[in-house]
Every structure is written in structure tokens, then in C-alpha cells.
Amino acid sequence: MFKLLRYLKPFTWSVVAVLMLLFFQAIADLYLPTLMSDIVDIGIVKGDTQYILRVGALMLLFAAASALFLVAASFLSAKIATGLGRNLRSLVFSRVESYSLHEFNRIGTASLITRTTNDITQVQQVVVMMLRMMVSAPIMCIGGLIMAVSKDAELSLIFVLVLPLLAGVILLITRRGVPLFRAMQVKLDKLNLVLREGLTGIRVIRAFNRLEHEKKRFSEANSDLTDTAIKVNKLMATLMPFMMLVMNLSTIAIVWFGGLRVDHGDMQVGDMMAFLQYAMQIMFSLVMISMMFIMIPRAEASAVRINEVLDLVPEIKDAAGIEQTQDKRGLVEFRNVTFSYPGAEQPVLSNISFSAGPGEVTAIIGGTGVGKSTLINLIPRFYDVDSGSVLVDGVDVREMSQESLRAKIGFVPQKAVLFTGTIAENIRYGKENATDEEVKQAAAIAQASEFVADMQDGFGAVMAQGGANVSGGQKQRLAIARALVRKAEIYIFDDTFSALDFKTDAKLRAALKKETINATVLMVAQRVSTVMDADRIIVMEDGKIADMGSHKELLKTCQVYREIVSSQLAEEEIA
């Protein structure tokens, strides 16, 4: 939590101003009982009505000043806290945007969303509280002590006894309470997890007839949470009554010892009354501080998560000396590439070498986890290789700027992702300044024209969040159109066609052939029918290239490929 406070730096002056304002406010507030004691000790004792009125007016003045300071302080602290929230959010978001897929997947999409939104809001709220209470409480406490001592130093000895007692109890309770609050948060998360799983897996749970089991799981998490919640609240139940008791007993002590001192003539009655009020203020500020102890652990978990994001530095950066590519227009070359995911024992890809040139279609086929998607993700430099090199147009991708490298590529991911906005805007995502004609053409090649025309607003139709209002196959076609509109040198299709039915798949490939005649095309595929006409088929097994060649060649030479083919096509079609 305190680590995050370093981001308060731009607000240093505002924070200082808030501190000053709160200090003045505390002084003004603290001066009121002293004035009151003057009314009693001078006004009443001497019977001077005029004096009482004068002091009363002065008191009003101080009260108004105190209010003014406080309003100003709250104005500034509102700006500081929300400003900090804004800066943190912006910082976290930009950082996440700079992550390579590796860092991104390490934390996970859902978790990153929570960190950017809820966690920062949580921290922001605590900062508001801190500026409001944590700053003013110690000032009130210390100010109150000073005023009390100035009223009567000897009577202040009561504090020597009372304050450590109070502080000790607060410490004791919060020390036991804070871990409980933490445990409660963990158990709440657990309950949410069970619940969420129950919702996402509802069909499976019902299909396997495991409702009772899930009910038991929920009930366990529920009881667990309830038990801790009861424990926490019971513990907290001791805090307030105890503090009130200590406070009240000390007032009694003050009246008693104060009375004795008044009797001896060491003190005046009004001073004693003022003293009483200072004592109250001091102890109330302690109560406020104890509240902070409860608040901070809640934000702490959030702060830790935010710091984790900010401390994670993306591995992939543009090289110092950026090299420009020669104009070879889309030559992709893998030279002895070996790559492993961080922490993995075995490399996902080892010794991959091939090259794919303009006008060629290279298809990659192979089993689960053999690294097909990983392979093509190396081309736009989503990851960096361990050894060997990936070259585009003769230049190592690590020596190009990420921007210029990716500008050459039209990428269609495995899972089509669309953004809110119209269909045209989504297609234009590939090329910002694409004309209407280009957008329409890209859609036509991607076999999207028909269903787009069927939609009420055509290309102006608005996508719901995540593209929920179109089917999976339609989404995929729009994603293809988005890549096509770029007129890229290199097209990468990561298993893009399997979400389409045969008919659309075939039509699309036919149209694509014409469009990508001068480009380098790399596609990961599952269907033999999709890859059959490729210029080069790379068959992968266990992270290595098992064989490479055309459909006909592979049928003769490659056992793995034959297996794949025979599983999908009937005899007469293979022959």
C-alpha cells in the first residue's frame, strides 16, 4: 500500500497544503474549548455578560475558520485521491498495453481487468479516507495533547496512564482482527469462485448429476465465510464498547482529580471543563486511527496486485538500432528456431527452419500442443525466440521496430475478437483510412457481404460487446475481412477456418486465392481439405518439423500426414 503512495509525488504541494489546512483546522477547533473555559472562568465568575458575548463571537469566528479550512482541505484531497486514481489507472493500462503475450498471459485477462478497475478504485477510496481521517486524527491527537498540557500539565498525567492502555487494546484487537479480515476476503473470493464455476459449468454439472456435490461445495464455502465473518464481528464488538468505557472512566478520573486540583486552587473550573473536552478529542482521534488499521488491509491486497502489474516489465522492446527492411515484400524465414515458454522444461519448438515467400501458401498441420500456434506467433514477435532467428524480408524481427514489423502482417487469430462499434469500424481496424469501397471488398472476399447485407443497418450495424450479436462463424469472417483490408505482405491465419462450415470455407479459400496472389500466406489448419492445395504443408510433431512438402509428396513420404488424411477423407478421395 505504502509503495503506491510514491505516485502521490505530483501532488506533493497539494498534500502539503492539505496537511497545513488540516493543521490550522485542528488548531481552530482545539481553541474552542479554551475560549469556552474563558467564558466560565472569567465571564461567569466575574459576571461579565459583555465578555461572554465577545468571546462567543470569537468562537463563531474560529468555528467558521475551521469549517473553511476543512472545506478547502476536502476539495484538495478529493482532487488528490481521484487524481491519483486516474494516474494509476492510466499507468496500469499503458503498462498492460505494452505487455507481450507472455506477460499478459502470466497474469491473465480476468485478473488484469480487476486490477485496472476494481483494485484501483479500492485504493482510491482508501486514499480519500487516509487524507480525511488518518491525517487529521494524529493532528487532533497531538494538538489535543498540547492544549491539554497547556491547560494543566499535572492533570495530563492521566493520559500517561490512559493512552498506552487504549493504544495497547487497539493494537491487540487490530492485530487479531487484521488477519481475520484478510481471511474473510480470501473466503469471499473462494465463495465467488465456487459460484462462478457453478454457473459456467451448469450443463456439465447437471449432465453428470453432480448437483448435490456442488451444493455441498457451496455450503462448505458459505459456512466457512460465515464463521469467519461472525468471528470478525464479534471481535470488533469488543472494540467500541471498550474504548467508550475507557474514555468515560477517564472523564470521571479527570473530574475527580481535576476537582481536587480545583479545590487546591491549582486549576480553574472552566479549565477543567476544557480539559475534559480535549481528553475526548484525543481519544476519539485514537478511535479513528484504529479504523484505519481495518481499512488498510482491504486496500493492501489491491495494492499488491497493482504493484505486481507495474513491476512487471515487458520483455520485448524495440532494439536500439532499428534496421529497415529491404523491399522483398513478405519473405518469412525461420532459421534454426528454438523456443520454450518461461519455466517450461521442454522447448515447444526446436530447430524449426523453413522459408515462405510471396505468392506462396504455407499450411501448418499437426497435433495438439505441438506448437503450431506458437510458431506463427513468433512472426509478429509476440514472443522472442531462445535461439536461432525469425527473419522477415531478410531482417531479424528483433532488429525491426515492432510497429513496422506488424504493419506488414494481416493476422487472424484462432478466436475471433471484435470490438464495440459498427461492422465497418471493425473492418477498418485493420486500416484506419480504408475507403468504403475497400471495406466492402474485404467483406466480400471474407464471405461476409451476405450476412452483413441481411443486417438491419448493413455495415453500419453496431456490434454488441464481444460481438455477441453475430455467430461464431460470422465473427471469424469479419476478423478475416479486418486482416484483408490491410493489403498486407504477410497473412497469418491461426486455425481460422475450422469455425466455418464446409461450404463457406471452400468459397472463402477460392476468393482468398486471388486476393493473396502476391502475399505470403501462412495458415494453421485442421482440415485436410483446407490445406490440400497449399504450396507447402508443414507437418509438425513434438515441436519439430516432421515433414514438409506438397499434399501429393507428403502422402507418399509422411506416415503422420497419411494418418491425418485417412481420418478425414474416404478412400476414394485420398487416392
Partner 1 sequence: MSEERNGSRKGSGGGFGGRGPLGPGGMAMPVVKAKNFKGSLKRLLGYLKPYRMKLLFVFVMAILSTAFSIVSPKIMGKATTKLFEGIMLKYQQVPGARVDFDYILQILLILIGLYLFSAFFSYLQQYIMAGVAQRTVFDLRKDVNEKLTNLPLAFFDAHTHGEILSRVTNDVDNIGSTLQQSLTQLITSLVTIVGILIMMLTISPLMTLIAVVTLPLSFVVTVLIAKRSQKYFAAQQKELGTLNGHVEEMYTGHQIIKAFGREDESIDKFNETNEKLYQAGWKAQFISGIIFPLMNFISNIGYVLVCVVGGIFVLKHKIEIGDVQAFIQYSRQFNQPIMQMANIANIIQSTIASAERVFELLDEVEEKPEAENATVLQFPRGEVKFQQVDFGYREDVPLIENMNIDVKAGQTIAIVGPTGAGKTTLVNLLMRFYEISAGKILVDGVDIREMRRGELRSLFGMVLQDTWLFNGTIRDNIAYGRTAATEEEIVRAAQAAHADHFIRTLPEGYDTILNEEASNISQGQKQLLTIARAILADPAILILDEATSNVDTRTEVLIQRAMRTLMKGRTSFVIAHRLSTIREADLILVMNHGSIIEMGNHHELLATGGFYADLYQSQFTGGNSTSEAS
Residue 43 binds partner 1 (CB under 8 A): yes
Q: What residues between 46 and 65 interact with partner 1 by CB under 8 A?
A: 47, 49, 52-53, 55-56, 59-60, 63-64
Q: Taking the CB of residue 124, how many other CB atoms lie within 10 A of it? A: 21
CB of residue 90 to partner 1, shortest distance in Å:
6
**Looking at 6-14, 152-160, 186-194, 325-333, which segment touches partner 1 (CB under 8 A)?**
186-194
Residue 236 binds partner 1 (CB under 8 A): yes
Look at phi and psi of residue 330 and say left if phi exceeds 0, alpha if psi is from -120 to 50, else beta.
left
Adjacent-strand bridge partners of 354: 334
Q: Which is nearer to partner 1, 60 or 167 (CB)?
A: 60
Q: Which is nearer to partner 1, 372 or 440 (CB)?
A: 372
Are 493 and 412 contacting, i.e. CB atoms less than 8 angstroms apart?
A: yes
Residue 251 binds partner 1 (CB under 8 A): yes
**What is the C-alpha separation between 42 and 44, in angstroms, rounded?**
6
CB of residue 460 to partner 1, shortest distance in Å:
20
Residue 214 binds partner 1 (CB under 8 A): yes
**What is the C-alpha separation between 284 and 281, in angstroms, rounded?**
5
CB of residue 75 to partner 1, shortest distance in Å:
5
Q: Which helix (H) or strand (E) holds 362?
A: strand 361-366
Contact with partner 1 (CB under 8 A): which of 12, 90, 326, 336?
A: 90
Lookup result for grid cell 465465510:
225
Residue 324 binds partner 1 (CB under 8 A): no
Are 225 and 187 contacting, i.e. CB atoms less than 8 angstroms apart?
A: yes
Contact with partner 1 (CB under 8 A): which of 138, 201, 357, 458?
A: 201
Q: What residues between 456 and 475 interact with partner 1 by CB under 8 A?
A: 465-466, 471-474
Residue 29's alpha-carbon distances to 69, 164, 465, in angstroms, are 11, 25, 53
Instruction: Tally DSSP H helices, then E strands, for the chain.
Output: 22, 12
Q: Which is nearer to partner 1, 172 or 407 (CB)?
A: 407
Three-class SS of residue 86? helix
**Looking at 138-146, 161-169, 235-243, 355-363, which segment touches partner 1 (CB under 8 A)?**
235-243
Lookup result for grid cell 493512552:
163
Residue 9 binds partner 1 (CB under 8 A): no
Three-class SS of residue 377? helix
Contact with partner 1 (CB under 8 A): which of 17, 165, 169, 188?
A: 188
Residue 528 binds partner 1 (CB under 8 A): yes
**Looking at 158-166, 193-201, 317-325, 391-399, which segment touches partner 1 (CB under 8 A)?**
193-201
Q: What residues between 347 and 406 interact with partner 1 by CB under 8 A?
A: 365-370, 372, 380, 382, 402-403, 406
Residue 27 binds partner 1 (CB under 8 A): no
Q: What residues between 548 and 567 interact with partner 1 by CB under 8 A?
A: 551-552, 560, 563-564, 567
Lookup result for grid cell 482440415:
527
**What is the C-alpha separation between 90 and 96, in angstroms, rounded?**
10
Contact with partner 1 (CB under 8 A): which of 160, 241, 342, 456?
A: 241
Q: Which three cell numbers stand for residue 431?
A: 486500416
Task: Report the sign of the C-alpha dihedral through residues 188, 189, 195, 199, in that order.
Answer: positive
Residue 138 per-residue DSSP state: H
Residues 535, 541, 545: CA angle, nearest 5 degrees = 45
Residue 186 binds partner 1 (CB under 8 A): no
Q: Which three cell numbers stand for residue 228?
A: 469467519
**Whole-angstrom distance between the N-terminal and C-terminal Cα of the chain?**
69
Residue 79 binds partner 1 (CB under 8 A): yes
CB of residue 81 to partner 1, shortest distance in Å:
6
Q: What residues between 115 and 144 interact with partner 1 by CB under 8 A?
A: 116-118, 121, 128-129, 132
Lookup result for grid cell 475507403:
435
Q: What residues between 423 and 452 interact with partner 1 by CB under 8 A?
A: 429-430
Q: Which is nearer to partner 1, 16 or 417 (CB)?
A: 417
